[in-house]
Chain A
């Protein structure tokens, strides 16, 4: 069956370090992959999108990589700040753009 896996354990890092979150998938051939941030009690906020023919995407302190051979995406936050503490969700999009499938998210805690 189709599966999207994100580390269910919280990631605790020190302020200023780089946070790296992982999204692995099986039995999908996604056309694109997105990363969202979700704070408690709020809706997800779009961060970055990377398409199947792209290896890497950057936006300010954020970087996403996409390896369709390994079926994995890595999401990096450099120079992390306590304000980056949140749950980060990856979502895989299908080629007909009808829907995207979410992982269960990884909670990031950045300590001052």
Chain B
């Protein structure tokens, strides 16, 4: 049973380009969270999605950031027109249900904006 898969593991983008981060949850999990971690800081909540629905996006910047979790395929976190401040590690976590609060995290995507 594969764990949460994130790809790519490392992503380098020039300022102004788009970054697309993918997260495949564990089998049977329909709930996905995205978190961002800056160096020496804790993880900051961005968005919580269930299949085809955004449940809570209160932690996501209003501009340039979007997330989706389609019926088929991985969850995608998209960052348009990246800036240097977007450089961070982005983690996704999945759960089988909303109330089952043991979250399984992926290994993260490290985004570097040059």
Q: A residues touching B (Cβ–Cβ < 8 Å)?
A: 4, 32, 34, 36, 41-46, 49, 89, 91, 93, 97-105
The answer on a CB contact under 8 Å between B101 and A49 is yes
The answer on a CB contact under 8 Å between A98 and B107 is no
Q: If the complex has contacts A44-B43, A104-B40, are A97 and B102 also in contact, measured as CB distance less than 8 A?
A: no
Closest A residue, CB atoms, query B46: A99
> CB of B106 within 8 A of chain A?
yes
Closest A residue, CB atoms, query B95: A97
For the complex, would chain A's binding face be called helix, strand, loop or mixed by DSSP majority? strand
Q: How far is the CB of A48 from chain B (nearest CB, A)?
A: 9
Q: If the complex has contacts A4-B42, A43-B108, A104-B40, are A99 and B33 also in contact, measured as CB distance less than 8 A?
A: yes
Which residues in chain B, 18-40, are within 8 Å of chain A measured between CB atoms? Answer: 33, 35, 40
Instruction: Write 21 A-B pairs (CB below 8 A) sorted by A numbering.
Output: A4-B42, A42-B108, A43-B93, A43-B106, A43-B107, A46-B102, A46-B103, A46-B105, A49-B101, A89-B42, A91-B43, A97-B98, A97-B99, A99-B48, A99-B56, A100-B103, A102-B35, A102-B43, A104-B40, A104-B41, A104-B42
